[in-house]
């Protein structure tokens, strides 16, 4: 390289413009980066992380101002996975929109289905049969375990232990097989329906769930055994990314992120939906607010989920799995194939769908694995929502990340992202 004209070489126009936009982004956080054209050594290093980065859990982008290995200021840039799902909802019937909810937080599709269907049922006054409630709870808790397992695998992988990822994925595989047998889909299950669920649990699905519930606690114990006394893992997580309770509440963090900061807020307990008031479970809470606290909270939540599934299996009542009112839910296939009314109702449900009363609006939230997942629906009396809003947990929890990152080290970024456990599909909608 010709050192005489080094400036022409290392300071091309595009890079400069790009660099300045990064500085501007940091300026929003009241951080000024002196740009000294003459002496590059006097300028602080601004590291752009993502949106194409393997450890930012999708397309999260971070702009870090570094002092050596230390992060002085961090700026978050989200929205790279915005797909306009809320707008899409306005042109779909309620039932048609339901599969889209699978694609928001794609790690716990069942919870999203339940959240959306419950919101619609609330606005349209649909009664859901008992058995459907319990099936929904089983599905939601399985998806919670599946989501937490992915978090565990990726978070531990971010600290550097690569094999763990595959061990948790083996367990997730079992849950996917269960979903395959429950609803015919492994990943985006779309099993819940407005007014109930698509179909009853098959015998082999039930057997598989029972097997899983019996075997999983041992696996969980193994995970604990591997990590709890692992000094490196412990040191990497303890005291990293501390989020005080007040700050967590201010930001609006929910789910394990908030409970790890010492505030026992869980919608399953605070405002029970489905039949969560009829099962017993604890709300794991930790006071430290660091990454290790969030680790313990999620691990214990998996224990509690198993406990809930056990109780649901014991209590599972007999009966229909979808409401028997053809104006509110799809009639069963028997009716559709063998009676004219059933056929007409099926057609009407597909064409127009369920029509909540004009002017009614509702907000209903559930405890998704990542936190509070709420659906806000305004109706104008037609089969489409007039306005549908999603309160996604990842979006709120990500806001805490900027706070946590300031003053930590570069190596901590990825495990803090892992600790908050965002899903960009959920955050950007």
Partner 1 sequence: MEPVTTTSYIVLGIALFMLLNSAALAVYAERRVAAFIQNRWGPNRVGPYGLFQPIADVVKLLLKEDVTPARGFKTIHAIAPMIPVFTALMTVAVIPFGDGLYATDINSGVLYILAINSLGVYGITLGGWASNSKYSLLGGLRAAAQMISYELPMGLAVASCILFAGSLSFIDVVNSQEVWWNVIRNPIAAVIFIVTAFAEANRTPFDLPEAEHELVGGYHTEYSSMKFGMFFLAEYMHVVVGSMLITTFFFGGYHLPFAGLWLPEMGVTAKAILDVSVFVLKTVFFAFLFIWVRWTIPRFKYNQVMKLGWKRLLPISIFNFLGLAVIVYFWHHYIA
Q: Convert residues 408-427 into a mask of x (bound to partner 1 by CB under 8 A) and - (unbound).
A: -xxxxxx-------------
- Which residue number, 365 or 413, has a Cβ lying nearer to partner 1? 413
Smallest gap from residue 36 Cβ to partner 1 (A): 18
232 binds partner 1 (CB under 8 A): yes
20 part of the interface to partner 1, by CB under 8 A: no
Distance CA 64, CA 69 (A): 11
Which residues are registered as beta bridge partners of 377? 362, 388
Is residue 353 classed exposed, middle or buried when 0-12, 13-18 and 19+ CB atoms within 10 A define those classes?
buried
Q: Taking CB under 8 A as the rule, does residue 67 contact partner 1?
A: no
Residue with tokens 């979903």: 179
Q: Does 41 help bind partner 1 (rule: CB under 8 A)?
A: no
Q: Is 44 in the site for partner 1 (CB under 8 A)?
A: no
Say how many C-beta atoms besides its own lie within 10 A of residue 304's C-beta.
Answer: 19
| Binding track over 168-197 against partner 1, x by CB under 8 A | --x---------------------------
386 lies in the binding site for partner 1 (CB under 8 A) = no
Candidates 35, 36, 166, 207; binder of partner 1 (CB under 8 A) is 166
For residue 280, give the nearest of 257, 312, 248, 236 by alpha carbon: 312
Element (H, E) at 173: helix 163-183
Nearest to 142 by CA among 103, 167, 114, 104: 114
Closest CA to 212 of 183, 167, 178: 178
Q: Which of residues 113 and 157 has its CB atom nearest to partner 1 in the complex?
A: 157
- Using CB under 8 A as the binding rule, whether residue 47 contacts partner 1 is answered as yes
Size of the site for partner 1 (CB under 8 A): 33
Among 17, 27, 36, 45, binds partner 1 (CB under 8 A): 45
**Is residue 35 within the footprint of partner 1 (CB under 8 A)?**
no
Which one of the spans 86-94, 156-164, 302-310, 397-405 is the region binding partner 1 (CB under 8 A)? 156-164
**In 3-state terms, the chain is what percent helix, strand and coil (to 5)?**
55, 10, 35
Exposure on the CB side of residue 330, measured as CA atoms within 13 A = 21
Q: Which stretch binds partner 1 (CB under 8 A): 16-24, 143-151, 233-241, 326-334?
A: 233-241
Bond preceding residue 413 cis, omega within 30 of 0: no
Structure tokens at 16: 């400069």
Residue 367 in contact with residue 268, Cβ under 8 Å?
yes
Contacts with partner 1 by CB under 8 A lie at 1, 9-10, 12, 45, 47-48, 53-55, 69, 156-163, 166-167, 170, 230, 232-233, 235-236, 409-414
């Amino acid at each position: 390289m010709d050192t005489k004209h080094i400036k022409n070489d290392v300071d091309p126009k595009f890079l400069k413009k790009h660099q300045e936009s990064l500085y501007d982004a940091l300026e929003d956080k009241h951080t000024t980066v002196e740009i000294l054209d003459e002496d590059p050594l006097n300028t602080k290093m601004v590291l752009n992380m993502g949106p194409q980065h393997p450890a930012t859990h999708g397309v999260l982008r971070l702009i870090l101002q570094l002092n050596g290995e230390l992060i002085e200021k961090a700026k978050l840039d989200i929205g790279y996975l915005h797909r306009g799902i809320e707008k899409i909802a306005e042109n779909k019937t309620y039932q048609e929109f339901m599969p889209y909810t699978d694609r928001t937080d794609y790690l716990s599709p069942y919870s999203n289905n339940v959240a959306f269907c419950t919101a619609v049922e609330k606005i349209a006054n649909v009664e859901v049969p008992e058995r459907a409630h319990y099936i929904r709870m089983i599905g939601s808790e399985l998806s919670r375990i599946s989501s937490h397992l992915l978090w565990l695998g990726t978070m531990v992988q971010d600290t550097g232990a690569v094999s763990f990822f595959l061990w948790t994925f083996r367990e997730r595989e079992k849950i996917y097989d269960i979903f395959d047998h429950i609803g015919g889909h492994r990943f985006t299950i779309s099993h819940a329906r407005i007014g109930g669920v698509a179909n009853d649990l098959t015998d082999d699905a039930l057997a598989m769930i029972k097997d899983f519930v019996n075997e999983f606690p041992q696996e969980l114990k193994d995970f604990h055994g591997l990590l709890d006394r692992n000094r490196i893992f412990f040191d990497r997580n303890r005291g990293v990314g501390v989020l005080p309770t007040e700050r967590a509440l201010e930001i609006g963090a929910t789910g394990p992120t908030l409970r790890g900061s010492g505030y026992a807020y869980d919608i399953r307990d605070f405002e029970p939906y489905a039949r969560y008031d009829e099962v017993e479970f604890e709300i794991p809470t930790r006071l430290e607010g660091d990454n290790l606290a969030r680790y313990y909270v999620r691990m214990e939540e998996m224990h509690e989920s198993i406990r809930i599934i056990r109780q649901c299996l014991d209590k599972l009542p007999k009966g229909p799995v979808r409401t028997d009112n053809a104006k509110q839910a799809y009639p069963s296939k028997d009716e559709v194939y063998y009676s004219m009314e059933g056929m007409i109702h099926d057609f009407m449900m597909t064409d127009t769908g369920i029509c909540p009363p004009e002017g009614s609006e509702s907000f209903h939230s559930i405890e998704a694995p990542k936190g509070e997942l709420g659906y806000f629906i305004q109706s104008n009396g037609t089969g489409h929502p007039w306005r549908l809003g999603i309160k996604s947990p990842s979006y709120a929890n990500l806001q805490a990340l900027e706070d946590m990152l300031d003053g930590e080290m570069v190596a901590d970024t990825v495990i803090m992202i892992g600790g908050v456990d965002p899903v960009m599909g959920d955050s950007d909608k």
